[in-house]
């Protein structure tokens, strides 16, 4: 096989590093809760990624800011990986298994210019899903074929050159085989198993199922990371020269006319906006005393307190989301044939955003009333954060209506990433415990059963609370359960600051 470019000589080493990353990955994650292992694995992945694309970063940037956005995404990615070593909130630990791959795929696509659209376009995220979930499967034959070529002798193929690399590659290939063989032998003979168990830092009596799982996980990590990066380097489009930078995108034709999407007549649009705003203004005037006076007993007749607080904020948040859609349509799909019609459009859109902000404040106050009456939970605090996020979007939208031509989609995406990172670092479980404890001090009411759902992040607050109120005996098993969970994390891969603080108290 002839190498079309010097950097293609690195392909063999790429596969060796990917195999080593798979070996490290199974050691870090199999039968171990994620902790400091997550940022360590991320460092390993980026070492492979930047080695693989060396010489590919730079050059022509079709859309301004693509590369800059790619490098900026390192910040939220690093912060989110560190949360596994700092916090113990199970909700965000689960969500970050989805959020981190999405951010990493977006960043690697931007740095390698693997997308056909700018990062704030909807089609970019369609390509992101394909690059993440489908494209690596199309390249599974590459590492398998490469391994088969290495095992042949007497052929001029790309393979590790130095003896050290050959030895390292042999050890990597032998490791999964040794794990299976030793596990099977240990299962078949008790004396052999006792020998294995006596070896310091040995297999610790791993069952056959765990050994096989380690091999599967390690192989999947190695294959996926290599095939994913290979898919970034060589996209499957129409056949072109591998050295040719100009790549014809699938399904595109050079003679397609660039037609502008049809826009709504301004008069028609203004009529619609006036009708919508009239409804919102009337709603705000009539409901104002109810929206902000519920704490003083001004609840609508026949409406229970819980129903008022709970249903009100959900409906108003839904309206806020609808209004964002109306705003985007008003900005991009209304023709501006004259100056005064354009100003009327801006005034009506501003009124729409103003009413939406009022609704968000109302929804926020309703949820606060509900929390005051029934306590604080993770879902309620997440909804609080989401409403604050929507409020920020409304303010940005108001600025966009009157000033500048910046892309709302770009700002919305950036704010969404920043907000998500902030929520990860808000330490929600600790806040939930603190707020419920403060509520108990005022009302002598607390839902102790819910405290069972809190993670080790709430441990210090619960311990202090129990010391101040030893009569609350139900707190003791909750604290004991957290301490047992903390003491069970006796592997360095699972080190976590929240559990470490709990162990020290």
Write the pLDDT tens digit of every residue in 329-339: 877 777 666 78
Mean pLDDT of 74-103: 92
Measured from the Cβ of residue 170, the count of other Cβ atoms closer than 10 Å reads 11
User: Are 36 and 495 spatial neighbours (Cβ–Cβ below 8 Å)?
Assistant: yes
**pLDDT above 80 (res 317):** no
Q: Nearest Cα to 496, choosing from 483, 484, 486?
A: 486
Residue 477: pLDDT over 70: yes
- Mean pLDDT, range 203-215, rounded to an integer: 63
The CA distance from 91 to 242, in Å, is 44
Higher local confidence (pLDDT), 458 or 312: 458
* Neighbouring-strand partners of residue 264: 334
Instruction: Determine the pLDDT at residue 213.
Output: 78
Q: Where are the domains of the chain?
A: 10-233, 266-426, 430-504
58-72, 348-362, 404-418 — which is least confidently predicted?
58-72
State what percent of residues in the chain have pLDDT above 90.
Answer: 25
pLDDT digits (tens, 9 = 90+) for 10-40: 788 888 889 899 989 888 888 888 889 999 9
C-beta of residue 456 within 8 angstroms of C-beta of residue 500? no
pLDDT of res. 414: 93
Is pLDDT above 80 for 64? no
Residue 305's pLDDT is: 57
Q: Which of 266-280, 289-303, 305-319, 443-457 is predicted least confidently?
A: 289-303
Distance (Å, whole) CA 235 – CA 139: 10
CB count, 10 Å around CB of 176? 20
Q: What is the pLDDT of residue 190?
A: 45
Residue with the larger pLDDT of the pair 279 and 296? 279
Q: How confident is the model at residue 1 (pLDDT cuts 50, 70, 90)?
A: very low
pLDDT of residue 193: 58
Q: How far apart are the C-alpha atoms of 450 and 377, rounded to whole Å?
A: 8
Q: Could you tell me which of 287, 463, 455 has the C-alpha nearest to residue 366?
A: 287
Q: Is the pLDDT of residue 366 over 80?
A: no
Structure tokens at 76: 């939220």
Cβ count within 10 A of residue 466: 17
Q: Residue 89 has which token pair?
A: 């909130």
Q: Is the pTM of this model over 0.75?
A: no
Judged against a pLDDT cut of 60, whether residue 436 lies above it is answered with yes
**Among the listed residues 318, 273, 308, 310, the one whose alpha carbon sits nearest the alpha carbon of residue 287:** 308
Q: What pLDDT is recorded for position 205?
A: 47
Distances (CA, A) of 10 to 14, 43, 158, 320, 368: 6, 20, 9, 52, 58
- pLDDT tens-digit map of 253-294: 344 344 455 566 777 778 778 888 887 777 666 656 555 554
227-250 confidence digits (pLDDT tens): 999 988 886 544 333 333 333 333
In which element (H, E) is residue 110 found? helix 90-112
Residue 203 has pLDDT above 50, yes or no: no
The gap from C-alpha 338 to its chain's centroid, in whole angstroms, comes to: 44
Tokens of 91: 């909700």
């Amino acid at each position: 096989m002839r190498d079309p470019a010097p950097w293609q000589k690195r392909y063999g080493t790429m596969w060796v590093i990917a195999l080593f990353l798979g070996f490290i990955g199974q050691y870090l994650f199999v039968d171990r809760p994620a902790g400091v292992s997550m940022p360590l694995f991320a460092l390993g992945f980026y070492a492979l990624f930047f080695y693989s694309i060396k010489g590919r970063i730079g050059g022509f940037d079709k859309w301004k800011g693509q590369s800059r956005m790619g490098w900026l995404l390192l910040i939220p990615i690093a912060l989110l990986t560190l949360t596994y070593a700092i916090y113990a909130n199970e909700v965000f630990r689960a969500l970050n298994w989805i959020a981190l791959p999405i951010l990493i795929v977006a960043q690697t696509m931007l740095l390698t210019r693997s997308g056909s659209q700018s990062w704030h376009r909807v089609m970019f995220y369609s390509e992101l899903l394909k690059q993440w979930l489908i494209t690596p499967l199309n390249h599974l034959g590459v590492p398998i074929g490469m391994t088969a070529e290495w095992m042949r002798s007497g052929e001029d193929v790309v393979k590790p050159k130095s003896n050290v690399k050959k030895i390292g590659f042999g050890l990597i290939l032998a490791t999964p085989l040794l794990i299976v063989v030793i596990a099977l032998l240990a299962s078949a003979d008790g004396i052999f198993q006792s020998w294995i168990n006596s070896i310091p830092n040995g297999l610790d009596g791993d069952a056959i199922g765990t050994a096989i799982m380690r091999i599967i996980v390690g192989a999947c990590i190695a294959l996926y990371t290599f095939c994913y990066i290979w898919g970034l380097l060589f996209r499957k489009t129409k056949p072109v020269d591998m050295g040719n930078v100009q790549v014809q995108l699938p399904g595109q034709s050079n003679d397609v006319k660039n037609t502008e999407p049809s826009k709504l007549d301004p008069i028609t649009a203004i009529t619609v906006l006036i009708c919508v705003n009239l409804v919102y203004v009337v709603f705000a005037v009539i409901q104002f005393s109810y929206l902000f006076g519920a704490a003083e007993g001004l609840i609508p007749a026949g409406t229970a307190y819980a129903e008022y607080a709970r249903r009100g904020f959900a409906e108003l948040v839904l309206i806020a989301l609808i209004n964002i859609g109306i705003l985007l349509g008003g900005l991009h799909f209304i023709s501006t044939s004259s100056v005064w019609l354009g100003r009327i459009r801006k005034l009506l859109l501003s009124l729409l955003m103003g009413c939406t902000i009022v609704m968000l404040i109302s929804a926020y106050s309703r949820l606060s009333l509900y929390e005051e009456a029934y306590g604080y939970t993770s879902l309620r605090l997440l909804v609080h954060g989401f409403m604050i996020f929507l409020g920020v979007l409304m303010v940005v939208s108001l600025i966009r209506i009157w000033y500048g031509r910046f892309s709302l989609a770009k700002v919305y995406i950036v704010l969404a990433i920043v907000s998500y990172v902030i929520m990860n670092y808000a330490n929600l479980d600790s806040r939930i415990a603190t707020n419920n404890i403060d509520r108990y001090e005022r009302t002598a009411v607390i839902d102790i059963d819910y405290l069972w759902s809190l993670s080790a992040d709430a441990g210090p607050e619960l311990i202090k609370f129990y010391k101040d109120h030893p009569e609350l005996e139900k707190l003791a098993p909750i604290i004991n359960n957290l301490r047992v969970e903390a003491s069970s994390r006796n592997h360095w891969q699972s080190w976590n600051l929240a559990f470490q603080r709990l162990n020290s108290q």
